[in-house]
Structure 1
Amino acid sequence: MQTQRETAAEARAHRDTAQQAIADIARFLQDNFSQRVTAYVAGIEDAKQVGKWCKAQNAPRFDSEVRLRTAYQIFRIIEGAENCHTARAWMIGMNPQLEDDSPLQAIAEDRFKDVMAAARSYLQGDL
């Protein structure tokens, strides 16, 4: 069961994600994970497209935008409870609740609900 604090943190992360332009989200992910990793999460092969997204020269396809927004929102949820370094490590590390895939890998595979469940478990101290 989620505490009020966890629910509030999720609500803040959701609101922040909804209010951010995709260019800002792409830039944030590129800054925290690299252009290549951001491209992987978005499901594209040409990492240079991420740089174009960051400059708002063009926009990602719908499915790529969903993945980027999901990665950003989950990162912000973990960061809100911990810190930036822990959130980054959690996002790239193996996760037993995700069959030892990283949350970023699971997001790239469209396993959004699984990653959110893993994030909630982490925040509750279950993992």
Structure 2
Amino acid sequence: MTAVAGARGGLKAHQDSIRLSDAELVRDLRDVLGSKLVAYIGSVKETRAVRQWADGERRPSAEVMTRLRHAYHVAALLAERDSRVVVQAWFQGMNPQLDDVPPARLLREGQVEDAAQAILAAARAFTAAG
């Protein structure tokens, strides 16, 4: 996942979140977040499903794919400045900008568009803070 900062930061992350095929996106997201966290966001119990999505053997539902595309956008934005470990911790940790709800949980359980906007705003604030 190699993203370059745009004028507002994250332009390539946004473009890739739209342009990548489902399998490519899941593979890249898995490389940054790990299979367990992708499975959690995708609401599946086994990482085998994530492997099958990444290999193109199986497709997630449209709603799950929307959640994964939003997760990718945010992960790629964060990965522009921080390591994989930091990105994983950010997704799993309590976030004061999200009422102390971990971003991964909000993406999994929240209304997808509202959750995505809130998480993206929190990620932008995190990267701006340095």
% of aligned pairs identical?
Answer: 26
Higher alpha-carbon deviation: 59-68 or 75-84: 75-84
Are the equivalent residues in 1 in contact too, given 2:6–2:12 (CA < 8 A)? no
Structure 1 residues without counterparts, runs of 5 or longer:
none
Are the equivalent residues in 2 in contact too, given 1:6–1:123 (CA < 8 A)? no
1:112 aligned to 2:119? no
TM-score by length of 2: 0.80
Provide the secondary structure at the position in 1 that maps to 2:122. helix
Structure 2 residues without counterparts, runs of 5 or longer:
none
Tell me which residue corresponds to 1:59.
59
Tell me which residue corresponds to 2:16.
16
What root-mean-square deviation, in Å, do the aligned CA atoms of Structure 1 and Structure 2 show?
Answer: 2.1
Aligned length: 122
TM-score by length of 1: 0.81
Q: For 1:67, give the aligned amino acid.
A: R
Q: Deviations over 1:8-47 (max 9, x none)?
A: 4221111122222211222233333333321220123444
Are the equivalent residues in 1 in contact too, given 2:32–2:75 (CA < 8 A)? no
Work out the CA distance in 1 between the residues paired with 2:79 and 2:99.
23
Tell me which residue corresponds to 1:125.
129
TM superposition outliers: structure 1 runs of 4+ over 6 Å:
none
